Amino acid sequence: MARTAPAPIATWSNWSGNQQVRPVRVAKPTSTDEMSALLQDAAATGHRVKPVGSGHSFTAVAVADDIQIDTSGLSRIVSVDRAARLVTTQAGARLHTLNDVLSGHGLALPNLGDVDVQTVAGAISTGTHGTGATVGCLSTFVERLTLVTAAGEVLHCAADRHPDVFAAARVGLGALGVITEVTLRCVDAFVLRAHETPVLLADVLAGVDDLIAGNDHFEFFWYPYTGRGQAKTSNRVPLDDAPLPRFRAWLDDEFLSNTVYGGLCRLGRAVPALVPSVHEVAARGLTERTYTARSDRVFCTTRRVRFTEMEYAVPRAALPEALAALERILAALPFRVQFPVEVRFTAADDIWLSHGYGRDSAYLALHQFQGAPYEPYFRAFERVATALGGRPHWGKLHYRDAESLRAAYPRFDDFRAVRDRLDPGRVMQNAYTRQVLGA
Ligand SMILES: Cc1cc2nc3c(=O)[nH]c(=O)nc-3n(C[C@H](O)[C@H](O)[C@H](O)COP(=O)(O)OP(=O)(O)OC[C@H]3O[C@@H](n4cnc5c(N)ncnc54)[C@H](O)[C@@H]3O)c2cc1C
């Protein structure tokens, strides 16, 4: 009888296209028990495993050496406790699915990043954040989580259950085990009024403390080679405030942000000398707009223009110095940078490998259009950010190693001790965790 050849394993690629791998095997468990059996089997047969979410990290954090765990088989929202404002979800659920379910129950997540396509576990595992003076990263919303360790043990963790694992696994880099379920603290559903306006960088920096403190959510974009930018404030308003008309929303979000912007980026890539003028036009041409919508729709947009990114969290007071250095770096680069620099703010938290551990942060995100050179830009800024006590986003490109990161995180060795205990055989290891945590 003819034997059927096993289906070939497809090459996996992240969203940005800069990380690719063909894993030895792809497994798609659909329950905590199946996950436990899978991990026990991997440990017994000497394989390494790596769960992957929606592949939205730029670093190799989700690249599997051997067995890739597709977490889409664990994407159910398990329960919503309206009175306690808690939602329990399987770890592979996408944030947009969660947002819709929560909205139906009159609830919402307190804050979100720029996009909502990440999985819950993927987002928290790298410290995904939005902006807001009093709000920490998404991992700070976690009340409980279920972690399957490399030995297949199932740990139910919370502040009072396995507290050290809880402090580590909320930003765990997929290095401690596989999360199968997460309970998140929500708030009552809310509506935000966003105001976007062209600004002068000098004005923003002069008033930045008031802008951060005076708005629920404040961020700004700076256009390299110009003294201009765009500020966005989002503040809570009554639930029945008027939403942006549909056509205007499409014009701003889809057409201007993606279609026109993508065209300008391609133009800048083809003719680098035009980049400063393109930034000047973009910065001046940005129309002021005010719109109101459900919170997640104001926080998140669709990103179709692909790019590579580095993001550093620095102590908030170091922002002016970091931006001044960035201006000098940009002027000296042998190529032009086509994307604006995004600046956001978060509150201090107590999660060991959170970028915001123990301090209020300013985040500076450096982007470059897909296919354009970026490494000298990112490396030059990394030198500045490191000297300022900066911490690189775990999901965005950086070049730091364990020894250098150890100096930036007071509880780094505690994290490594939990990893040694939960995964002494390094079943969860990959090249990235070797780089940032050590072998
Ligand atoms: C267009 C775009 C916009 C972005 N916007 C923001 C933003 O506004 N703010 C921000 O902070 N970041 C942002 N990011 C970065 C992104 O949020 C993070 O990289 C996030 O980790 C991606 O989630 P994911 O589901 O794609 O996870 P992946 O990238 O697939 O995986 C990330 C990590 O999570 C681990 N993991 C996945 N599932 C599990 C599990 N079940 N158990 C244990 N570990 C697991 C993986 O092993 C890996 O270590 C953006 C990225 C892109 C491409």
CA 259 to centroid of ligand 1, rounded, Å = 25
Mean pLDDT of all residues belonging to the chain: 92
Pocket test for ligand 1, best of 39, 52, 307, 433 (most atoms within 8 A of CB): 52
Please report the atom of ligand 1 found closest to the CA of residue 127: 11
Please report the atom of ligand 1 found closest to the CA of residue 15: 53
Instruction: Report whether pLDDT(8) > 90.
Output: no
CA 247 to centroid of ligand 1, rounded, Å = 31
Task: Tell me if residue 341 falls in helix, strand or coil.
Answer: strand
Q: What domains lie within the chain, and their CATH numbers?
A: 74-188 (3.30.465.10), 197-392 (3.40.462.10)
pLDDT, residue 4, reads: 67
DSSP string for 97-162 = HHHHHHHHTTEE-S---S---SBHHHHHHTT-----TT---GGGGEEEEEEE-TTS-EEEEETTBS
Please report the atom of ligand 1 found closest to the CA of residue 54: 26
pLDDT, residue 304, reads: 79
**Model confidence pLDDT, tens digit, residues 373-395:** 999 999 999 999 999 999 999 99
pLDDT, residue 438, reads: 98
**Model confidence pLDDT, tens digit, residues 164-209:** 999 999 999 999 999 999 999 999 999 999 999 999 999 999 999 9
CA 356 to centroid of ligand 1, rounded, Å = 17
Instruction: Report whether pLDDT(279) > 70.
Output: no
**Model confidence pLDDT, tens digit, residues 128-159:** 999 999 999 999 999 999 999 999 999 999 99
Residues paired with residue 315 on neighbouring β-strands, in sequence order? 361
**Model confidence pLDDT, tens digit, residues 343-371:** 999 999 999 999 999 999 999 999 998 88
Taking the CA atoms of residue 12, residue 54, residue 73 and residue 420 in that order, the dihedral angle to the nearest 10 degrees is 90
DSSP letter at 215? S
In the predicted model, what is the mean pLDDT of residues 420-436?
98
At 34, which helix (H) or strand (E)? helix 32-45
CA 125 to centroid of ligand 1, rounded, Å = 7
pLDDT cut 70: percent of the chain above it: 88
Which residue has the CA at smallest separation from atom 22 of ligand 1?
56
User: Residues with Cβ < 8 Å from 273, sequence gap 6 or more?
Assistant: 336
Q: Which of 39, 26, 351, 14 is nearest to 178 (CA)?
A: 39
More confident call, 354 vs 248: 354
Pocket test for ligand 1, best of 16, 19, 57 (most atoms within 8 A of CB): 57
Stretch among 24-33, 86-95, 276-285 having the lowest mean pLDDT: 276-285
CA 394 to centroid of ligand 1, rounded, Å = 9
- Strand order through the sheet with 67-70: 25-27, 67-70, 49-52
pLDDT, residue 189, reads: 97
Instruction: Report whether pLDDT(280) > 90.
Output: no
CA 111 to centroid of ligand 1, rounded, Å = 16
Joined tokens for residue 320:
């002016």
**Model confidence pLDDT, tens digit, residues 44-59:** 999 999 999 999 999 9
At 21, which helix (H) or strand (E)? strand 20-21
Instruction: Report whether pLDDT(437) > 70.
Output: yes
pLDDT, residue 293, reads: 94
Pocket test for ligand 1, best of 30, 66, 74, 115 (most atoms within 8 A of CB): 115
CA 274 to centroid of ligand 1, rounded, Å = 33
Per-residue pLDDT band for 256 (boundaries 50, 70, 90) equals low
Per-residue pLDDT band for 1 (boundaries 50, 70, 90) equals very low
More confident call, 239 vs 347: 347
pLDDT, residue 260, reads: 56
Q: How many CB atoms lie within 10 A of CB 164?
A: 15
CA 203 to centroid of ligand 1, rounded, Å = 33
CA 119 to centroid of ligand 1, rounded, Å = 7
Q: Give the binding-site residues of ligand 1, using a 6 Å CB cut-off.
A: 15, 50-57, 61-62, 71, 91, 113-115, 118-119, 121-123, 125-126, 128-129, 173-174, 178-179, 303, 393, 395
Please report the atom of ligand 1 found closest to the CA of residue 58: 19
Per-residue pLDDT band for 7 (boundaries 50, 70, 90) equals confident
Instruction: Report whether pLDDT(80) > 80.
Output: yes
Rounded CA-CA distance 261/339 in Å is: 10
Please report the atom of ligand 1 found closest to the CA of residue 394: 19
Joined tokens for residue 137:
């990263």
Instruction: Report whether pLDDT(10) > 80.
Output: yes
